[in-house]
Amino acid sequence: MTLPPFARSLSARLLVLTVAFVMLSEVLIYLPSVARFRAEYMADKVALGHLAALSVEAAPEGMVTWELEMELLAHVGAHSVDAVKRDRRVLMLMAPDAPKPAEVFRLDREGALDLIRDAVLLMLRAEPRAVEVWGPSRADPGVQVGVVLDEAPMRAALLDYSGRIMLLSVLISLSTAAAVYVALHLMTVRPMRRLAGAMVAFRRDPESTEPMAELVTNRSDEVGIAQRELISMQAAMRQALRQRQRLAALGTAVTKINHDLRGILATAGLLSERLLDSADPEVRRVGPRLLAAIERAATLCGQTLSYTRDGVLPLRRETVHLRDLVEEAGQEALAGGQREGAGGGARWVNRVPETAAVLADREQLHRVLVNLARNALEAGAATVTVEAVPEDGRLVVTVADDGPGLAPRAREHLFQPFSGTTKPNGTGLGLAIVREIMRAHGGEIRLVGSTATGTAFALTLPAAGMSR
């Protein structure tokens, strides 16, 4: 997958949206502006009409010549001028051919929405007509002045003003949109393109592609967090891929030697059966245990082959009496620890009730318990305690020890192969295998706690039955 061209990119969409939103803002400013211009135009006419009325009042006996009256009306730009003083209307000036007004506007009674509506209708109206405008005089608010004037000159002036406002709005919109676009492109779009490019490159070659130098940033915002998280995710993915390759190589090797190992175990089993006929009572006593261990190893080899072939851990579920299984696993773990020089003098405390039973594969669950016990003994634990309690139709088995606890590095990568170990020659596979076995049973394993006084794990399994 390649990055899209500019026409379909986030940059193009951002540019279009920025221009559209800025133009919308300019429209919201434009409408009140033209409404205000129309109102000011009519208010100026009212003020001029008041001046003309004052000229008539100043004349001898309030009379002016016809020529002066026409000159005053031409100066006002109206057909007639009226004035109202103390609720008394006086006709001051009037042209002989004054038309009848088609509509009356009162400036002191119109709201903002009315002014906007009338301004828009005026620009859309093409036919000429006369209107009457009333409003308070600026010089004397107590005087109401009315003028009859043609709308055509007012419409022409409003259209000229509207054109200038629109041109200015377009220039402001384009400059503002360009500034906002450049800022957002530098702060958001370009880093996102780098993130997208890094993701595409990582998908094409996740093993050899190193983190892009452009992604390394000190930004503390969401983009910087995304860049750093992508670098961390790529590093984790590369580590996981390397671990997967190691596991695949290990699985291949195990598959190759597994057949020969099963043959060796079969031979060892046949020879071990002869120990049962030995005259030494100690040999006869440990002989059955040796045969059981060899059979368990052979079964494990067969299950390993099935798992590497099918990808699913094979289970043979049955009702397992947990106390007996815990006792058997403890004896094996203590015996193995003594042979390897670990766990000498250690105690295995079995507090599982006699009635506790689970639905599980006996051999696999035995493997889980032995693995946890050996880990505790190798860490230096003197006592390992196993308990079981019912919880919501399931059985929670707790394996606790009094060892020194897990190291911080081991806790961080507890169930990860090749990572969750602190032993010099450890592989970290033990707990990873334990978790896989538990999940195959429909259960789970979790670390309850690990301090300087001990470590505890909890195993959750389907309960087959347990009386309180």
Q: Angle at CA 251, nearest 5°, toward 248 and 253?
A: 110
Token pair for residue 182? 């450049």
Q: Which residue has the higher pLDDT, 213 or 139?
A: 139
Residue whose pair of structure tokens reads 């009572």 in the numeric block: 281
pLDDT digit string, tens, across residues 371-427: 898 888 888 889 999 999 998 888 999 999 998 888 877 777 777 765 555 554 445
Rounded distance between C-alpha atoms, residue 207 and residue 237, angstroms = 9
Helix then strand count (H, E) for the chain reads 11, 12
pLDDT at 103: 92
Q: CA-CA distance, 337 to 346, in Å (whole number)?
A: 9
From residue 445, alpha-carbon distances to 375, 398, 422, 429 in Å are 15, 10, 20, 15
Dihedral sign, Cα of residue 172, residue 174, residue 177, residue 178:
negative
The string of pLDDT tens digits covering residues 415-464 is: 776 555 555 444 556 787 788 888 888 889 999 988 888 999 999 988 77
Task: Show the CA angle centred on residue 306, arms to residues 304 and 312, nearest 5°.
Answer: 95
Q: Is the CB of residue 334 less than 8 Å from the CB of residue 349?
A: no
| Residues 304/254, Cβ–Cβ less than 8 Å | yes
pLDDT value of residue 270:
64
Q: Where are the beta strands (DSSP E) in 222-288?
A: none
Within a 13 Å sphere around the CA of 332, how many CA atoms are in the beta-carbon half?
A: 20
Q: Tens of pLDDT along 94-108?
A: 888 889 999 999 988
* Strand duo 357-361 + 394-401: pairing: unpaired
The three-class DSSP label of residue 105 is: strand
Give me the phi and psi of 445, to 5 degrees please. -125, 140
Please say whether the beta carbons of 44 and 133 come within 8 A. Answer: no
Give the closest residue to 185 by CA, choosing from 401, 442, 6, 343.
6
Q: Which residue reads 């020969």 in tokens? A: 260
